[in-house]
Amino acid sequence: MNVKSMLCGALVLALSGCAGAGAETTLKFDGAGNGTHSETPNCDDQGKVKGSGNIPDGDVVVTMKDSSGKQLFQQNFSGDFTLDERTLTGASGAWNIQASRSGDDLAGDAFSGQYAFYVNC
């Protein structure tokens, strides 16, 4: 076996070791204003989500769906919060994590705060 073959073999092994590593994505916001945004990590049949934030005005609803559109997770957050890591199971492919920000309807204030949700597949 020559040096070129050995290097190519090592490269293939290194890359194949990463194939099952999956995707990581962060869905975050820091500021004011109502709205919606999302990220679409590619996941196998399992993923993990965790997050934290501080929302003094309003709330954020976070929803996660698998590639078939099945809802795997949904939760409303406000004030100081921490979402401990949760393992989710669903269909492989492009998953979607979405955050919908809204203000305090009674006071008429727009959303204000910061949050970050981390997805690891």
pLDDT along the chain (121 residues), means of 10: 39 34 87 97 96 96 98 98 98 97 82 97 93
Q: Give how many domains the chain has, as a whole number.
A: 1
CATH of the domain at 101: 2.60.120.380
| Residue 87 maps to a domain | yes
CA distance 7 to 34: 52
Residue 30 in tokens: 């820091």
Q: Write down the pLDDT at residue 14.
A: 32
| Residue 55 maps to a domain | yes
CA distance 17 to 8: 14
| Residue 94 maps to a domain | yes
3-state percent breakdown (helix, strand, coil) of the chain, nearest 5:
15, 60, 25
pTM as predicted = 0.79
CA distance 43 to 48: 10
Q: Which amino acid is at 72?
A: L
- Residue 9 dihedral angles phi and psi, to the nearest 5°: -65, -40
| Residue 114 maps to a domain | yes
| Residue 45 maps to a domain | yes
| Residue 97 maps to a domain | yes
| Residue 62 maps to a domain | yes
Q: Residue 76: give the domain boundaries.
A: 22-120
Q: Write down the pLDDT at residue 108.
A: 73
